[in-house]
Structure 1
Amino acid sequence: MVLIRWQPMQEMEALRRQMDRVFDEVAQAKHEAQVTWRPAVELQDTEENIILRAQIPGVAAQDLDINVTKGAVAIAGERRYDKDSKNGYFRSEFRYGKFQRVIALPVAVQNDQVKAQFQDGILTLTLPKVTEARRQVVKVNLADTNTATAATTHASDAVNQAENTTATV
């Protein structure tokens, strides 16, 4: 007959690991229930504007909440489940429920002059850049050599300032 030594600490550690696994599964299920889906977005950087497009199919315009700051856009809403369906579903892969998405912008924008359009499930926001973030071109006058040097210096300073502003925001 073989004697096995009882080690209570190992049994306690095994019980702790099992409890951790149970709590992790519960927390993950709760998180998945809260974050049901996120709309896909694309950003386009033009000379004067940042254009943001978001795919939000099946959501009514009154169910959207859009907030724009100088550095980010927050889109929130809800895709409602159709409870008036007479027949049950065999299979549904649609995502329902609340969503929220915050998109950081590459440059500062004028948040009081945003234009929005919502058509065919695509939200399009035209966000005008602040004037400091736009690339400014300065014309150099070559009539006088002293003036030409000064104008060239100011032009290079303006381009450097615009690039620095773009890089830091």
Structure 2
Amino acid sequence: MLSTRTHKLGFPFSTNLRNELDDAFSQMFGKSLSGLEGAYSPLSVWEEDSKYHIALDVPGMKKEELSLDIQDGHLILTGERKTLEGREFLHNERRYGKFKRVIQLPDWADPASVNATLDSGVLTVVLDKKLEMQPKKIDIHDVVKPE
């Protein structure tokens, strides 16, 4: 099953609520929500200076197993965490399957500036703010008085 989540940058979303709902569902039905929806990769979004960063946890995945696209003002991250065939788990909290994370890019993001790196199981995407949206220092000049 494909898991798709859409977020707008700058709006908080709670993993605590997700974990609490998952626990409640598991207690009631003996199966977690995460087990029903396929793989899930948590992400973080933050701003530094004139750049915006998105980090997605993808432990054990190679860049060839991930896809990153920008389409219609959205950053689309997709991948598939494959399960090992023939393995019967005594206990398993890892999630497998296809996932898709869709992040609506704000107007200030410059899609032409996107840069992505994969390091130690974290996919990091960096976007610059459009030039006109970046902070600009304005010089204050002395008043020239006629003599």
Q: Specify the code of the residue in structure 2 equivalent to 1:137.
A: K
Q: What residue number does 1:18 align with? A: none
3-state SS of the aligned residue for 2:80?
A: strand
Deviation at 1:106, TM superposition (A): 4.3
TM-score by length of 2: 0.65
* Pair 69,48 (structure 1): closer, same or farther in 2 beyond 3 Å: farther
Does residue 58 (structure 1) correspond to residue 91 (structure 2)? The answer is no
What does residue range 50-129 of structure 1 map to in structure 2 within 5 Å?
50-68=52-70, 71-83=73-85, 85=87, 88-129=88-129
3-state SS of the aligned residue for 2:131?
A: coil
* Pair 120,50 (structure 1): closer, same or farther in 2 beyond 3 Å: same
Please tell me whether the aligned partners of residues 50 and 128 of structure 1 are also in contact (alpha carbons under 8 angstroms).
yes
Task: Measure the CA separation in 1 of the matches of 2:111 and 2:121.
Answer: 23
For 1:44-73, what per-residue CA distance to the aligned partner results, in whole angstroms no more than 9, with x for missing partners? 112221011111112221111111358432
RMSD of aligned C-alpha atoms?
2.7
Deviation at 1:107, TM superposition (A): 4.7
Deviation at 1:142, TM superposition (A): 1.6
* Pair 93,58 (structure 1): closer, same or farther in 2 beyond 3 Å: same
For 1:14-67, what per-residue CA distance to the aligned partner results, in whole angstroms no more than 9, with x for missing partners? xxxxxxxxxxxxxxxxx9777323321111112221011111112221111111
Q: Choose between structure 1 and 2: higher strand proportion.
A: 2
Task: Measure the CA separation in 2 of the matches of 1:70 and 1:129.
Answer: 17
Task: Measure the CA separation in 2 of the matches of 1:104 and 1:32.
Answer: 23
* Pair 32,117 (structure 1): closer, same or farther in 2 beyond 3 Å: closer
Q: Choose between structure 1 and 2: higher helix proportion.
A: 1
Q: What residue number does 2:24 align with? A: none
Q: What residue number does 1:43 align with? A: 45
Please tell me whether the aligned partners of residues 39 and 80 of structure 2 are also in contact (alpha carbons under 8 angstroms).
no
TM-score by length of 1: 0.57
Higher RCO, 1 vs 2 (CA within 8 Å, ≥6 residues apart)? 2
Identify unmatched segments of 5+ residues in structure 2: 1-32
Task: Measure the CA separation in 2 of the matches of 1:84 and 1:130.
Answer: 50
Please tell me whether the aligned partners of residues 41 and 56 of structure 2 are also in contact (alpha carbons under 8 angstroms).
yes
Q: Specify the code of the residue in structure 1 equivalent to 2:46.
A: Q
Please tell me whether the aligned partners of residues 71 and 105 of structure 1 are also in contact (alpha carbons under 8 angstroms).
yes
Q: Specify the code of the residue in structure 2 equivalent to 1:122.
A: V
3-state SS of the aligned residue for 2:69?
A: strand
- Percent identity of equivalent pairs: 23
Please tell me whether the aligned partners of residues 49 and 129 of structure 1 are also in contact (alpha carbons under 8 angstroms).
yes
